[in-house]
């Protein structure tokens, strides 16, 4: 539940545009880092100050400024003012309860996405909010904590792999998005393994514990869906936005992102169907097992009840003629066996056994 | 049910535009209050008369007129005529069964929203209807009873916090809406606590009483949804309306309101999924418990039925050879224990124990 | 079922535009009545002939011609020809199986709506088809039987209440629609009382009879929905039609009608959710009761089965040493009580009691 | 299943536009017939050749060419070439697995509709594919077998009833469609009778056989829906097409067709809801009956188990003091009756009886 | 699960546009083949090199280049560069986890479709990804393995059947699509046979094994739907694209493809409804059988329990007067038979037997 509804209480009553950090504080000290590159050069400053991030006049280099730790409101505000960011955008950046979204502010494009991890022990999916600001010649990225899926991009920039050094800030923003989305596939794969594991156990031995696992999977799938679904809209809006910040050659890549998102959403929907099918399998197999138990037990009981009645008859202290006959005992046994055999035959004939 | 369908009976048969108060009377005496402010000045009149609310010629001040107690039809009508409000709008204001909506009348914009409270004892969500009229230089707000979530705004105006004193009446209307929506998050949080409480009790001990609680939660969630869902449409229409009453710099804030509404709606949908998942958990765990009871009890019965049959056989008053043998009693016991053990072994082998 | 599908058999095979009355004949003799009014005058003719209904040259009066009893095909046809109504429209008027709809024929607007009643005894909702034809200076209304919800309007016209005498035929059509819709709220209220009554009985004593009531409510709610749902479309189309027959000042009132319709539809949907919730409550409480019965009974049986076995052992006619001991009888009782107590303790410990 | 998926195997691998008859061959010999009429004249040729169907120069007569037996591919092809029909259209005509659809080819309009029958014995709905080609001055109709619902139209043409002889080929196409749709209502009525019959039997005696009937109804309703649903789209597209082949005065009639289709679709949806309600009723009443059986039987068993235990106690061969008392036998009976009465009282108090 | 989510792990972290084969390697060696034809000539080269595929200047022939084995990344890349294909398209071609889609790149159109097979033994549907590139004068097709449904097309080209040799590359692309879609119908037919087989067995003997089959069918239907659903969008987009690569006379054929797709999608939806109906039938018939077992067994038990009680009474060692009467034994039998008969009569009267 906590993941679904970030406490907003501290924010209530403050004028709009006031920065309040909403969410768990995931790191102690916030750290700003800068990466500046052009086709020829590449420079990293870590940690850096807000002043170091500002563009020196007349450069064609692309600057990527990354902030780990959005709880440091002062730093966020300072950065925001330096790059002319609207207060409402800053408010959204420090509020980790945002829904993935895209907003075009003319001078810059603002995007919020969730970075997903799969906590291997608790089988829970953890989401970290990543905000991206794409401006002319720079990309600002805001994260809740250090550690991300962007190291690949950093390496690619440093070693001048692919075309990234040759392209502009829009391609950098695309690359970051792409890395985030690639990570969704990693999470989906691990999640699929969880589903398969539970599926296998369901067939072997349905137990209430496994049922609990299925419900956990279901809840996680709902969470995944909540994270992935708005991405469709986001990338579709981004592609259609016609913003001058996105060059024509990058637009093609954005269409690719959109395709990937649809694949993610499709897979999540498939998972949901699969999990709800598992629930059906569990319920019907649990009911099958119970029915089997009840059936065998009831059959045993039913065979012995008439026999016990016969024994009871000859246990009566009445003047029963048969009691004096020598062969009555084996005869009674014969009758009893006949009754038991008859019932077993009847059961078998009606396919109850 | 009462909350869902306001009695309209008194209204039936009256010509349209006739004011009839529909809903519970929540306060004794209606009270009108005025707050007039400009970047430099701020003036409050409480209580005030309709005449005091009218604009003095050539002022740039923003006037906020608030009415607590919409059952005072005369006052509402007087106010409406003073500000040139259409009779149908006044009819909507005094009818508390309105659906949240937005209507653009050219000279003024009319909005109806629900203000939510969570009655802590009865675990019920209480809705109060708030109508807003945004005109050039004034905002009229109509409430059912005194006590609201607007004190923060009043304080902000008095103390000149944020930008509110510098902005126009459209920003005031936005601020009121924002305060209302912020309160939705407070209600959602408390509601989430209720859900968690019930969820915890469901796992520990499923009882019919808890089931009743789940159904109550479900009903409240439906009610929440009914209040929140039309807000999407409202704010989307407000943003797109292109009314000259909403300045361009305020439009940005309205987009923020729309985002918040989507968050509210998403959360309510998540609650609904969560609650319906709880029902499934309850039903399957109740059925599990019942099955367990039946299984253990039936197993006990089944073990003893064959034993009782054996005892019955030797209780027959027939000429049974075994009755005369000295070791027959322990032998019968041995047979009985073997039968019981065999059945237990069989049950355990088939995993019924 | 009958309400859902009007027999069309008599119509099959006739050329389109041939008038055939479809539906139950609800009155013996059809009656035409005329009401003519202008701001100054008001005149009623009841019964009247078709000729009397025709406009006298150069009048600005509004004429409202009402026909009770659409089975009188000759009268309908005569009236239709007098006012230049298309044969297909007349066919729709006399066919009571119409879906509520709106059609703009240029010279006149044709609307079909259902007038609802709640038969108090059979708890059934009865629908009567009302067709309205709005033309320039006149409104034709067609009803299946005498007795309607329009007396309020007649009184208002006679006594010059509200603005109706001052407005044109479009306002009259609106007023009739409004009266019809107001009556929907009356029906909804009574229906809500039925729902509450059933809900209260469900909690107190769930019985198959109550279940039958729930299914009746469900069927009625489906019927209500079928009547109310197309009204949304109807009033929305009417508002957007831009017909020259609807003046601008009336358009505002139509928006109000649309709002009311949405309220009706919302309420019906709420009823449906509420009723389907009742079914869930019934099923789970019936299953709870059954489980409780089975549990207590099975527990009693299980306690006595081992005891009966013990008694059976000492009823065997074998040479049992204990039979000769003086204190064996009380000892056996003690064992039995211990077994029974042990099982009760076990049941209580596992919370089955 | 066969009705839902026509075997296409023979067609696989042939170039598009190759005629292959798909579906059952429903008649032996194909027959072509011509009906030519103008306001003054009417001429029928049955059977006729393709050449006879061709228009003689400069006639204003409307020609209706009907083919019974679309398996005669040569005839279909000849006819198609004579009237300049595209090969793909011919392919659709002879493939009976078509979905109802509308296609505007400029010179002619192509429509596929299903003609429905209700096989009274097997309670199955049978669909025959009817293709219509509306061209300037002619209508081609293709049927799978002789026998149709068009005899009414033929009679109307012969006897100059209604306006059909005065109108063009578009009105003829409309009339054929109208006759087809009227027949849908006949099928719906018979189907409604089936539903009512099953509904009555459900209440009286729920049996697995009735359940089978309900599932049959459900399948038929799905089939009906598959046939009726695309008609909405078809007539809506036809109305909007703006084809020069459809005159303005006919367009009004098409709107009527659209209304009828919506009525059909609504009714089918209502049937589906009704049938799914029947399933609920069946399941809950079957479960009620079972519960009742189990309850009464278990109560009987439970009363006798303690009594049998008491009898067992006094059957023990121990030294029981009571055995020697003279009044012990009636005393035991008294105890037994008291126990049985107590349990009955308890059951009744808890409303289990 | 594996079919639903192709492992993407190897791709993570690579720059976009890097070719990585995702999916199973289905053939050892990749093979390129060329088919070049014009109305007069037809030439085949198998295997061929990339250079042989390149267009010789000024030819009007259509070239169809087919690659079996997309894991040969070098070959794919070489081919892509030779025809000027964008790296992202090549990336999509070698990633077999693509969703069917259509993309218009101006100079060429890119389409991804799934080719379906039904593995007869495992009852699983196998999908192979086929990518098509339609350019001016050429079509490139990429397959995972040799063996396809295109032999018909090859034969048609070789023998100059139909119009294929006379038309351009767009008609070739259409023909390939058509062959793929035709194969869908073959798969659907076999799948329908599976459904019928399971349906027949369900009615005869509902067993948990059959339930497993139903769930398998359900999963396959979900998979079918995943493959077929996006085709709607694909062909609809293709038809509307207005690309200059698609000539007007081919557009008509594309509409036909779209119709076929809708038929496929409709059929799959019908299968899904049918399968979910089967689940309902299974569950209710399994529950019916269980209820029948329980009922008969309980009835037997209930009849004998009172009889056993009577026998127990006369087994008591009390001074029972009846024990001394000579006719008491037959009298007790009479009472017992009366009790048993009475209960049977009661059961039969209440229709429990």
Q: Tens of pLDDT along E290-337?
A: 777 788 778 888 889 899 999 999 998 888 888 888 888 899 999 999
Q: Tens of pLDDT along C148-202?
A: 889 889 999 998 888 889 888 999 999 999 999 988 988 888 888 888 888 888 7
Phi, psi of E115 (to 5 degrees): -95, 125
Q: Tens of pLDDT along D290-302?
A: 777 788 778 888 8
Q: Is E136 helix (H, G, I), strand (E, B) or coil?
A: coil
User: What is the domain extent for residue C299?
Assistant: 292-349
Statement to judge: residues B258 and B224 lie in one domain: yes
ipTM rounded to 2 decimals: 0.72
Contact D301 E299 (CB under 8 A): no
Statement to judge: residues B78 and B219 lie in one domain: yes
Residues A106-113: what's their mean pLDDT? 92
Statement to judge: residues C303 and C210 lie in one domain: no
Cα-to-chain-centroid distance, residue C81 = 35
In a domain? residue E139: yes
- pLDDT higher for E6 or B215? B215
Cα R_g (chain A), whole angstroms:
34
Kindly tell me the number of DSSP H helices and DSSP E strands found in chain B: 8, 7
Statement to judge: residues D234 and D119 lie in one domain: yes
Closest CB to C301 among D156, D255, D302: D302
Best to test chain A binding among B195, B279, B303, B318 (most A CBs inside 10 Å)? B318
Distance between CA atoms of residues E34 and E45, nearest Å: 5
Q: Is it the case that residue D4 has pLDDT exceeding 60?
A: no
| pLDDT bucket at D66, cuts 50 / 70 / 90 | very high
Q: Is D84 helix (H, G, I), strand (E, B) or coil?
A: coil
Residues C110-128: what's their mean pLDDT? 84
Distance between CA atoms of residues E112 and A149, nearest Å: 30
Contact E315 A316 (CB under 8 A): yes
Q: Tens of pLDDT along C240-277?
A: 887 888 888 888 888 888 888 888 888 888 888 888 88
| pLDDT bucket at A200, cuts 50 / 70 / 90 | confident
Measured between CA atoms, the residue of chain D closest to residue C290 is: D291
- pLDDT higher for E145 or E338? E338
Tokens 């035959």 correspond to A345
In a domain? residue D22: no
pLDDT of residue A322: 83
Contact C284 B101 (CB under 8 A): no
Contact E5 A308 (CB under 8 A): no
Distance between CA atoms of residues E111 and E103, nearest Å: 6
Distance between CA atoms of residues A205 and A214, nearest Å: 14
Q: How many domains does chain B fold into? A: 2
Q: Which two tokens stand for residue A167?
A: 């392209």
Q: What percent of chain C has pLDDT over 70?
A: 94
In a domain? residue E192: yes
Residues B262-275: what's their mean pLDDT? 87
pLDDT of residue A8: 53
Q: Is E69 helix (H, G, I), strand (E, B) or coil?
A: coil
Contact C320 B297 (CB under 8 A): no
Q: Report angle CA C185, C188, C191 to the nearest 5 degrees.
A: 155
Distance between CA atoms of residues E119 and E93, nearest Å: 24
Q: Is it the case that residue B140 has pLDDT exceeding 90?
A: yes
pLDDT of residue D278: 82
Contact C329 D319 (CB under 8 A): yes
Q: Is it the case that residue B2 has pLDDT exceeding 70?
A: no
The DSSP line for D94-140 is HBTTPPPEEEE-SSEEEEEEEEEEEETTTTEEEEEEEEEEEETTEEE
Q: Which two tokens stand for residue B202?
A: 């469901």
- DSSP character at residue E55: P
Statement to judge: residues C224 and C329 lie in one domain: no
Strand partners, A112: A101, A131
- pLDDT higher for E101 or B19? E101
Statement to judge: residues E279 and E309 lie in one domain: no
Contact D297 E294 (CB under 8 A): no
Q: Report angle CA B149, B150, B156 to the nearest 5 degrees.
A: 130
Q: Is it the case that residue B179 has pLDDT exceeding 80?
A: yes
Q: What is the H or E stretch that residue B311 is in?
A: helix B248-313
In a domain? residue E16: no
Strand partners, A22: A95
Q: Average pLDDT over chain E, rounded to whole? A: 85
Q: What percent of chain E has pLDDT over 70?
A: 94
Q: Is it the case that residue C78 has pLDDT exceeding 60?
A: yes
Q: What is the CATH number of the domain that holds C63?
A: 3.30.460.20
* Residues of chain A contacting residue B116, judged by C-beta atoms under 8 Å apart: none
Residues C310-318: what's their mean pLDDT? 89
Q: Average pLDDT over chain D, rounded to whole? A: 85
| pLDDT bucket at A133, cuts 50 / 70 / 90 | very high
Mark which of E284, E302, E331 sits at the end of a domain.
E284
Statement to judge: residues B114 and B142 lie in one domain: yes
Contact B16 C313 (CB under 8 A): no
Mark which of C284, C302, C337 sits at the end of a domain.
C284
Q: Which range among C198-207, C304-313, D28-37, E304-313 shows the weakest confidence by mean pLDDT?
A: C198-207
Contact B215 C281 (CB under 8 A): yes
8 A C-beta contact, residue A63 and residue A42:
no
Q: Is the peptide bond before E295 cis (omega within 30 degrees of 0)?
A: no
pLDDT of residue E65: 94
Q: Is it the case that residue D8 has pLDDT exceeding 70?
A: no
Closest CB to A315 among E16, E86, E311: E311
Q: Which of A238-242, C53-57, C329-333 has the highest mean pLDDT?
A: C329-333
| pLDDT bucket at D325, cuts 50 / 70 / 90 | confident
CB atoms within 10 A of CB C89: 19
CB neighbour burial string for B25-54, b if at least 16 within 10 angstroms, e if fewer = ebbeebbbbbbbbeeeebeeeeebebeebe
Q: Is B32 helix (H, G, I), strand (E, B) or coil?
A: strand
pLDDT of residue D6: 56
If you count residue pairs, one on D and one on E, with CB atoms under 8 Å apart, how many are there? 142
- DSSP character at residue D28: S
* Residues of chain B contacting residue C273, judged by C-beta atoms under 8 Å apart: 222
Q: Which residues contact A93 (CB under 8 A, 6 or more apart)?
A: A70, A76, A80, A112, A131, A142
* Residues of chain E contacting residue A189, judged by C-beta atoms under 8 Å apart: 5, 7-9
Residues A279-288: what's their mean pLDDT? 78
Q: Is it the case that residue E140 has pLDDT exceeding 90?
A: yes
pLDDT of residue C13: 64
Q: Is E235 helix (H, G, I), strand (E, B) or coil?
A: helix
Q: Which two tokens stand for residue A329?
A: 């005992």
Contact B8 C185 (CB under 8 A): yes
Cα R_g (chain D), whole angstroms:
34
Contact C285 B13 (CB under 8 A): no
* Residues of chain C contacting residue B332, judged by C-beta atoms under 8 Å apart: 316, 318
Distance between CA atoms of residues C203 and B215, nearest Å: 12
Closest CB to E284 among D211, D324, D326: D211
Closest CB to D1 among E195, E252, E351: E195
Contact E189 D317 (CB under 8 A): no
DSSP H helices, C205-324, are 208-240, 248-313
Mark which of A232, A253, A284 sits at the end of a domain.
A284
Phi, psi of E72 (to 5 degrees): -80, 85
Measured between CA atoms, the residue of chain D closest to residue E284 is: D283
Nearest CA to CA, how far is D312 from chain E (Å)? Answer: 6
Statement to judge: residues B211 and B326 lie in one domain: no
Best to test chain E binding among A291, A309, A328, A332 (most E CBs inside 10 Å)? A309
Nearest CA to CA, how far is B346 from chain C (Å)? Answer: 20
Q: Is it the case that residue D155 has pLDDT exceeding 70?
A: yes
In a domain? residue D277: yes
Q: Which residues contact E278 (CB under 8 A, 6 or more apart)?
A: E195, E198, E199, E202, E214, E217
Give the pairing type, strands A62-68 and D31-37.
Answer: unpaired
Q: Is it the case that residue B258 has pLDDT exceeding 80?
A: yes
Distance between CA atoms of residues E229 and E266, nearest Å: 10
Q: Is it the case that residue E1 has pLDDT exceeding 70?
A: no
Q: Average pLDDT over chain B, rounded to whole? A: 85
Q: What is the CATH number of the domain that holds C308?
A: 1.20.58.340
pLDDT of residue C341: 94
Q: What percent of chain A has pLDDT over 90?
A: 24
pLDDT of residue B321: 85
Closest CB to B305 among A4, A293, A301: A301
In a domain? residue C151: yes
Q: What percent of chain B has pLDDT over 70?
A: 94
Closest CB to B314 among C298, C316, C352: C316
Q: Report angle CA A264, A269, A270 to the nearest 5 degrees.
A: 95
Q: Is the peptide bond before B149 cis (omega within 30 degrees of 0)?
A: no
Q: Is it the case that residue A255 has pLDDT exceeding 80?
A: yes
pLDDT of residue C270: 85
Distance between CA atoms of residues A233 and A221, nearest Å: 19
Tokens 């809801």 correspond to D273
Q: Is it the case that residue C144 has pLDDT exceeding 60?
A: yes
CB neighbour burial string for A5-39, b if at least 16 within 10 angstroms, e if fewer = bbebeebebbebeebebbbeebbeebbbbbbbbee
Statement to judge: residues A227 and A202 lie in one domain: yes
Statement to judge: residues E176 and E303 lie in one domain: no
B partners (3+ CB pairs within 8 A) are A, C
Contact B311 C313 (CB under 8 A): yes
pLDDT of residue E111: 94
pLDDT of residue E148: 82
pLDDT of residue A78: 92
Best to test chain D binding among C308, C332, C336, C337 (most D CBs inside 10 Å)? C308
In a domain? residue C26: no
Q: Is it the case that residue C57 has pLDDT exceeding 80?
A: no
Contact D326 E319 (CB under 8 A): yes
Contact C215 D252 (CB under 8 A): no
Residues A178-200: what's their mean pLDDT? 87
Q: Which of B322-326, C250-254, E67-71 has the highest mean pLDDT?
A: E67-71
CB atoms within 10 A of CB A346: 12
Q: Average pLDDT over chain A, rounded to whole? A: 85
In a domain? residue C274: yes
- pLDDT higher for D41 or B147? D41
pLDDT of residue C122: 63
| pLDDT bucket at B133, cuts 50 / 70 / 90 | very high
* Residues of chain B contacting residue C291, judged by C-beta atoms under 8 Å apart: 286, 290
- pLDDT higher for D335 or C301? D335
pLDDT of residue D5: 56
Contact B267 A5 (CB under 8 A): yes
Q: What percent of chain D has pLDDT over 70?
A: 93
Distance between CA atoms of residues C87 and C327, nearest Å: 105
A partners (3+ CB pairs within 8 A) are B, E
Statement to judge: residues E263 and E319 lie in one domain: no
Q: Is it the case that residue B28 has pLDDT exceeding 90?
A: no
**Longest pairwise C-alpha distance within chain E:** 124
Q: Which range among A12-21, C49-58, C114-123 shows the weakest confidence by mean pLDDT?
A: A12-21
Statement to judge: residues C39 and C102 lie in one domain: yes
């Amino acid at each position: 539940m906590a993941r679904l509804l970030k406490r907003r209480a501290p924010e209530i009553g403050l004028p709009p545009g006031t920065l309040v950090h909403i969410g768990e504080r995931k790191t102690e000290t916030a750290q700003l880092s800068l990466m500046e590159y052009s086709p020829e050069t590449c420079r990293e400053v870590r940690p850096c100050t807000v002043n170091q991030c500002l563009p020196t006049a007349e450069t064609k280099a692309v600057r990527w400024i990354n902030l780990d730790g959005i709880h440091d409101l002062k730093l966020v505000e300072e950065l925001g003012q330096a790059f002319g960011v609207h207060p409402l955008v800053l408010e959204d950046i420090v509020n980790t309860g945002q829904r993935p979204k895209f907003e075009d502010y003319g001078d810059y494009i603002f995007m919020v996405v969730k970075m997903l991890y799969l906590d291997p022990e608790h089988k829970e999916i953890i989401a970290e909010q990543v905000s991206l600001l794409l401006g002319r010649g720079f990309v600002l990225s805001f994260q809740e904590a250090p550690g991300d899926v962007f190291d690949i991009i950093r390496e690619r920039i440093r070693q001048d792999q692919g075309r990234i050094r040759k392209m502009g800030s829009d391609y950098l923003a695309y690359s970051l998005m792409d890395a985030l989305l690639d990570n969704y596939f990693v999470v989906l794969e691990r999640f699929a393994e969880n589903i398969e594991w539970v599926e296998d156990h369901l067939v072997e031995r349905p137990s209430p514990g496994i049922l609990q696992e299925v419900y956990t999977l279901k809840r996680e799938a709902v969470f995944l869906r909540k994270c992935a679904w708005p991405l469709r809209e986001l990338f579709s809006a981004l592609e259609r936005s016609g913003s001058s910040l996105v060059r024509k050659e990058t637009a093609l890549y954005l269409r690719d992102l959109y395709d990937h998102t649809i694949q993610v959403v499709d897979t999540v929907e498939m998972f949901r169907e699969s999990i709800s099918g598992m629930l059906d399998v569990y319920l019907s197999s649990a009911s099958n097992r119970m029915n089997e138990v009840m059936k065998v037990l009831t059959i045993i009981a039913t065979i012995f009840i008439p026999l016990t009645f016969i024994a009871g008859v000859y246990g009566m202290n009445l003047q029963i003629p048969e009691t004096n006959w020598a062969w009555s005992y084996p005869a009674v046994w014969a009758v009893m066996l006949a009754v038991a055999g008859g019932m077993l035959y009847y059961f078998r004939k009606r396919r109850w056994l």
